[in-house]
Amino acid sequence: MLEDPGIGSEVTAALRAGYGIEATALAFVAGYDMRAASYDVAATDGRWFAKVRFDPVADAPLEVPRALLDAGIANVLAPMRSLASALSHPMSGDRSLVVYPFVAGRNAMVAGMHAGQWRTFGLTLRAVHDCGLDGPFAGRLPDESFALPSAARVRTALAEAPAVTSPAADRLRGFLDEQAGRIGHILDRAEELRVSLDRRTFEHVLCHADIHAANILVADDGRILLVDWDGPMLAPRERDLLFVIGSRIARAVEPHEEAWFREGYGDVKVDREALVYYRYERALEDIGEFASSVLTDPAVPEASRRSQAALLEGYFGAGGYLDTVEGA
């Protein structure tokens, strides 16, 4: 979330009940996951990072980083266990609290990464893809089927009458109406790629599935950590390489940075059609999510509506994300 939802007292109580952590101060940490709120927690026994999920949390995504650590892949941030030995603690409604060790640092979108850190990122992601955990997690994680569920969400968001009346919502509705032809082309092209890929066979590996620069923590001590394992899946490796090869997601990956990454990751044949499909899928996911949030969710503060609307409009601008989807 971009703005504090004002649940500090509930978070403090959940930390005490679920983890025995006596918080002395909470600092909200803004982020672009609109289904979660994050906090820097100062406590009597140290410092922690707490994340409140506003939708049901499955066990498997929390177990993945823990399993990777147990397999010897050190550059992964995994949740700590609660007093009940669980990896999350239930809160009211469908909300859940997940707690991590606090690591001082900044995300790579802000801090950037030097050559050695890019190589370490490549080595780490290759280790994730080659870890063999696709077997133990088969049936417990989503398995890529090229079903393109994001397309249905976009169509629904654009077809529904807006449930919210506000300056930001009205502006975005008008903008999306103007872009209807381009959005239709995106849907058609994504469907064309989906059909083509569905006829082929790919090796499925364990993927983070959202490993852009904002989900890489650059620690003050120089380490890098892969964080936010909210949606791991079994998929072709292009599902993760999307965020490196010619990527403009979160921040542009420069050619020399991609070369450093490849030095760590090693040689691999990249299927360009799969890469382009995943770029379109990402665009549709964001269009659907931001449009739904801005136009239909009355709980979203107007400042967040403006921010999300601006991000979405930027996708369509000259030199924006959509102009790069079909690139090399």
Q: What does the pLDDT read at residue 157?
A: 81
* Cα separation, 133 vs 304, whole angstroms: 38
Domain final residue, candidates 62, 83, 102: 102
What CATH number does residue 260 fall under? 1.10.510.10
Percentage of the chain exceeding pLDDT 90? 85
Average pLDDT over residues 122-133: 97
Domain final residue, candidates 43, 69, 102: 102
Q: Let me know: does 239 contact 278? Beta carbons within 8 Å.
A: yes
* Cα separation, 202 vs 217, whole angstroms: 30
Position with higher pLDDT, 208 vs 155: 208
Question: Do 148 and 276 have their domain in common?
Answer: yes
**Full domain range(s) for residue 89:** 1-102
By three-state DSSP, how is residue 224 classified? strand
Tokens of 2: 């971009």
Q: What does the pLDDT read at residue 221?
A: 97
Quick one: how far is CA 272 from the chain centroid? 22
Domain final residue, candidates 102, 124, 151: 102
Question: Do 123 and 237 have their domain in common?
Answer: yes
Residue carrying the six token digits 């872009």: 179
Return the H-helix or E-strand segment holding 52.
Answer: strand 46-53
What CATH number does residue 91 fall under? 3.30.200.20
Q: What does the pLDDT read at residue 156?
A: 86
* Cα separation, 187 vs 281, whole angstroms: 9
Q: Which residues pair with 233 in a beta bridge?
A: 207
Domain count, the chain: 2
Question: Do 120 and 96 have their domain in common?
Answer: no
By three-state DSSP, how is residue 194 classified? helix
* Cα separation, 212 vs 103, whole angstroms: 19
Residues 6+ apart with CB under 8 A from 147: 194
Tokens of 59: 């066990």
Question: Do 177 and 320 have their domain in common?
Answer: yes
Phi, psi of 234 (to 5 degrees): -100, 120
Examine the pLDDT at 1 and tell me if it is beyond 90.
Answer: no
What are the angstrom distances between the C-alpha of 59 and each of 9, 37, 49, 56, 327?
Answer: 25, 19, 19, 10, 37
pLDDT confidence band for 328 (50 / 70 / 90): low
* Cα separation, 131 vs 117, whole angstroms: 20
Question: Do 240 and 264 have their domain in common?
Answer: yes
* Cα separation, 229 vs 158, whole angstroms: 29
pLDDT confidence band for 160 (50 / 70 / 90): confident
Tokens of 24: 């002395």
Question: Do 147 and 232 have their domain in common?
Answer: yes
* pLDDT tens per residue, range 209-255: 999 999 999 999 999 999 999 899 999 999 999 999 999 998 899 99
Examine the pLDDT at 298 and tell me if it is beyond 90.
Answer: no
Q: Let me know: does 289 contact 34? Beta carbons within 8 Å.
A: yes
